[in-house]
Structure 1
Amino acid sequence: MARKRTIGDIALLAGVSKATVSRVLNQKPDVDPTTRERILRIVEEEGFVPSLTAAGLARRHSHLIGVLVPSFTWPMVPDIVCGVAEAIGLTPYELVLYSINDKTRADDKGDIIDHILASDLVAGLLSILPGLPAKHVIRLHQHGFPVVMIDDRELPSDVPWISADNQQGAYEAVCHLLKLGHRRIAHIQGPVDLYCSRQRYQGYCRALEDYGIPVDPTLVVEGLFRRKSGMEAMQKLLSLPQRQRPTAIFAASDDMAYGVIAYAEEHGIRIPDDLALVGFDGISSSAHVRPPLTTVKQPFQEMGRQGAKLLISMIELAHRQRAYIPPGAGKHATPLQPEDEQVQQIQLATSLLVRASCGARQNQAVSSIEQVT
């Protein structure tokens, strides 16, 4: 007896991935028409019969929510996931975690998203700190799959989105340094391709503008949200002539601020006596470094809670309308939106945690780094 063909066999004969075959069999619209025709022809020629059990599972109202996260070592991820878990704790939904780390190749990131769409395992996706994979998440939304992003997005996009108010948080941090008397305030940015980084930079610029201080490009250094890039940025800032060096630094992440502290300690620079420092994130370890770090606290748990609630409302709406995408809808399918369109994009307030690293307890400007040799 001839061996029964599998979906893997069909994919091999058609020269495509199993995910693509699955999308065709489930009448998903996001497949090239020529590729779809080739797959269907091979299915007919080979007498391939999809598993009725699997097909039934795919068509039911799933109560699984996919949560896409970057590396679990990112310090804010546990707090966000904790908020998500809290929100769904009293609902019939369960979580399925997917991880994309820094070492995952760009093509593989797209494959992971394709797998989520093709498997029909989860009813919707909550994407945390998507960064570069954001374009793939946006594609899911464009095909009518319920998606909510947490903390970052690419513009323009109408993907439902939850974030901290990055610009206002940065503005308040820099204003705090200005009130302490600082006028040469450096900014260590996050990656400029991320929306949150650009928003924090705009908050920095707005605060300086309100105090009548022009932005000095030599005091703005791009980092990568990592400790090492904080150290590298510090090295660049200290390479400036003494009179051009900053008296204070606003780092766009706590991790980069830790790099500033490490570099300062190695080179005999006292924080806050020689250099004031403010970070951004408010992760728990910021209270335990030396000196304790003044930082902008993001409401990570609340972001997770709000994101989960918004996603569930979209999934329930999709279920009631049977609106994932009708077969043949193709490019004319309408992305799902929450019932209350006013809450598609939510920015939550941050708070400034004032600690020793900014020298605020002195109630005056700290001594200038120009004096440090």
Structure 2
Amino acid sequence: MQGSNTQRKLTIQDIARLAGVSKATVSRVLNHRPSVNPSLRERVLRTIHEYGFIPNATATGLASGHTRLLGVLAPPLTWPAIPEIMRGVAEYIEGSPYEIVLYSISFERNHSDVLDRILSMSMVSGLLAILPGGLGRYLYQRFHLGLPLVVIDDQKVPAQVPRVGIDNVNSAYTATRYLLELGHRRIAHIQGPLHYLCSQERYQGYCRALEEAGITPDPNLLLQGSFEVESGQRCAETLFSRPRNAWPTAIFSANDQMAYGVMDVAERLGVRIPEDVSLVGFDDNMLSSHLRPPLTTVHQPFSDMGFKAVELLLNMLDSQHSKQQEECSIHLQLPTQLCIRKSSGPPYYLLS
């Protein structure tokens, strides 16, 4: 019998038949459930050992209604923050019995059909969503129907789901106030896409710092970007095409990518950073400290975000969803840090 059965890959159903128990009992043994009768457990384990059965983790989870897989829903991996977030996720997962399944999405199409198939098959026990965007409302509905879910840095107004992020308003306020303390008064802001909550909040922090200093935000110093390098280039070309006395003495970019675009144009036009114009970004991407000059920027703890988010998700999985509902307003805000480097300094008229 053993020889004939080892010609093909054994299933949980085969082990159940050979051990003379139900498939559910085999599943409970494989998932280390304490409710199994000790004699039945011993019989199942003896059969598994005798036939060299290697359980498929996904199939075992599907049979038991609880897998050891966590889904991670993320924008394309070319986004600068995603590798750092995933590093934090992987660091936490290494010390747990779980594995991750990564679903990379673009915002150009609706992926709810794919998620429907994944969730209807119970392939994952919980979901970590990074910048879910248009899928947010769909995911929040599924959360309230029982899906364990944690969100990182949503683009919309936060719903009542567990989430991890930063205080964008205060972080942008700190960056702008730093420029004001250097003596700058004409501070331009390159804003991110208006439909992103973080863009709105960073603009709010910029305005608050100016108003506290008695400066009315100048609409001529507000430029609209898209969080891409090319949009930073366009905004810089607009600013530097104006008469010299109409230039800002400092630029606060809502992300590092757009700040890179400003640096490209400044180098091409012979605009010196920081002697002619100081520049501050937001994110502290891995490249930012290696530029010439190194970029002053707000450091986001992306790796810590991933670590804390998956920690929160696994804590949810250890509790009943009714408890999740009680804790659905959890909002972890991790601290940021202004990294002062050589792209910023006092305005030129204070140096002369």
Q: How does 1:320-331 map to 2 (within 5 A)?
A: 323=321
1:352 maps to what in 2? 338
Structure 2 distance, partners of 1:111, 1:224, is 28
1:366 maps to what in 2? 348
1:282 partner amino acid:
D
Structure 2 distance, partners of 1:157, 1:63, is 27
After superposition, what is the alpha-carbon deviation per residue over 1:252-277, rounded to whole angstroms, capped at 9, x for unaligned? 11111000000111111111111100
Counterpart selection for 1:61 from 63, 66, 72? 66
What's the TM-score once normalised by structure 2's chain length?
Answer: 0.78
1:220 partner amino acid:
L
2:13 maps to what in 1? none
Change in 2 beyond 3 A, CA 1:367/1:225: farther
- Percent identical: 49
Instruction: Show structure 2 runs of 5+ residues with no match.
Output: 1-57
The answer to which of 157-166 and 233-242 deviates more is: 233-242
2:97 partner amino acid:
P
Q: CA deviation at 1:166?
A: 1.4
2:85 partner amino acid:
I
Structure 2 distance, partners of 1:241, 1:73, is 37
2:284 maps to what in 1? 282
Does the CA-based 8 Å contact 1:313-1:338 persist in structure 2? Answer: no
Q: CA deviation at 1:111?
A: 2.0
Q: CA deviation at 1:76?
A: 1.3
Q: CA deviation at 1:339?
A: 6.2
1:252 partner amino acid:
A
2:109 maps to what in 1? 106
| Residues matched between the structures, number | 293
Structure 2 distance, partners of 1:143, 1:167, is 32
Structure 1 residue matching 2:291: 3-state secondary structure: coil
What's the TM-score once normalised by structure 1's chain length?
Answer: 0.74
1:233 maps to what in 2? 235
The answer to which of 124-133 and 63-72 deviates more is: 124-133
Structure 2 distance, partners of 1:222, 1:260, is 13
CA RMSD after TM alignment: 2.2
The answer to which of 146-155 and 300-309 deviates more is: 146-155
1:161 partner amino acid:
R
Does the CA-based 8 Å contact 1:317-1:338 persist in structure 2? Answer: no
Change in 2 beyond 3 A, CA 1:58/1:151: farther
Does the CA-based 8 Å contact 2:131-2:151 persist in structure 1? Answer: yes
Structure 1 residue matching 2:271: 3-state secondary structure: coil
Q: CA deviation at 1:114?
A: 2.0
Does the CA-based 8 Å contact 1:314-1:338 persist in structure 2? Answer: no
Does the CA-based 8 Å contact 2:277-2:347 persist in structure 1? Answer: no
RCO comparison, higher one (Cα < 8 Å, 6+):
1
2:101 maps to what in 1? 96
Q: CA deviation at 1:121?
A: 0.3
